[in-house]
Every structure is written in C-alpha cells, then in structure tokens.
C-alpha cells in the first residue's frame, strides 16, 4: 500500500485543497491530510478546529481512503511515523513552485520522502486560505470558496478575534 501526505496549515481548508486531496487519492492507496502547526504563521483557527473542518470536508466529499491527522513536528518525521513515502503538494503557479521546491528537496534530503506536485484546477487557482480570511474579515462572501460549514467557522473565529481586541 502506498501512502502519501497532503500537508498544510489548512487555515481554513478550501475547495482548492480538496481538489488536490481528491487527485492525490487517485494516485495513492492511502492519503493523509496532515494539518500542520506552522510556527511562521499566526493561525486564525485552532488546530482542533482545522482538523474537525478538514475531517468534515473529507467526509462530505466522500473521499474514502483519506484520513486527517495533526503533524506535530517535522513533516518528514510524521511521514516516517505513518509510513508515507510521498508528499503531495498543489501548485497554483510559479510562486508556489518557488516556495515548495526547497522544501521538497529538504524532505528528500532528510528522509528520502519524494514530493509529487499536482497542478491546481484552473477554476480554483485564485482560491487561497489567506484570501478567504481577508474577504471574510470585511464581510465578503466566501462560502463558494470553501467546503460547507467552513465559512461559518471562519466568521465565528474572526468575531472572537475582533471581540477580544476591543
């Protein structure tokens, strides 16, 4: 059985993420959506919220053979722990490739884990978690960019943040 990890912060999970997970599942027997804690990013949603939203999205999409787990530290250590030989990353354009290539090379250097790059669906190339949060922050519509329930969770998290900053 071949196992691959689709890692990310998923803050929040988007339809673009689900597209990549769906296509990874077509390539690998077992796919793990690895919800990472990224020290260089300040997350809006807690790890538990991101995991719950990703699990609901995977279930709603009917993606059998896909599970969601937390990546507690280095991605390569997580890959070793679960027996994954590959990482699957979606690319929206050249900037994504420029950011992802050094990480892919380091993962291979550290643990022999290969990275498979999947071109994002052209209809979703404009969708990014950071843009979803920015649009929602100003009251714009995001529900057509994210799986069911995610827009509500983002709006609730933004209300908590805004309420605590008063």
**pLDDT score at 42:** 87
**Tally of CB atoms within 10 A around 16:** 22
Q: Which residues are catalytic?
A: 17, 41, 92, 129
pLDDT tens-digit readout, 131-145 = 999 999 999 999 999
**What is the DSSP code (8-state) at residue 146?**
S
Counts of helices then strands in the chain (DSSP H, E): 6, 5
**pLDDT score at 37:** 85
Helix (H) or strand (E) holding 94: helix 94-111
164 band by pLDDT with thresholds 50, 70 and 90: confident
Is it the case that residue 166 has pLDDT exceeding 70?
no
pLDDT tens-digit readout, 40-87 = 778 999 999 999 999 999 999 999 999 999 999 999 999 999 999 999
């Amino acid at each position: 059985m071949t196992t691959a990890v689709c890692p990310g912060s998923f803050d929040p999970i988007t339809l673009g993420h689900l597209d990549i997970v769906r296509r990874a599942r077509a390539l690998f027997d077992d796919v793990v959506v690895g919800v990472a804690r990224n020290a260089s990013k300040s997350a809006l949603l807690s790890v538990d919220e991101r995991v719950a939203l990703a699990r609901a999205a995977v279930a709603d999409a009917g993606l059998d053979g896909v599970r969601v787990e937390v990546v507690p530290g280095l991605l390569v250590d997580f890959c070793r722990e679960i027996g994954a030989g590959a990482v699957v990353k979606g690319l929206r354009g050249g900037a994504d490739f420029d950011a992802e290539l050094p990480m892919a090379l380091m993962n291979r250097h550290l643990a022999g884990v290969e990275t498979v790059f999947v071109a994002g669906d052209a209809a979703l190339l404009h969708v990014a978690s950071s843009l979803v949060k920015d649009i929602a922050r100003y009251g714009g519509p995001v529900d057509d960019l994210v799986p069911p329930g995610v827009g509500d969770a983002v709006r609730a998290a933004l209300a908590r943040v805004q309420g605590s900053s008063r």
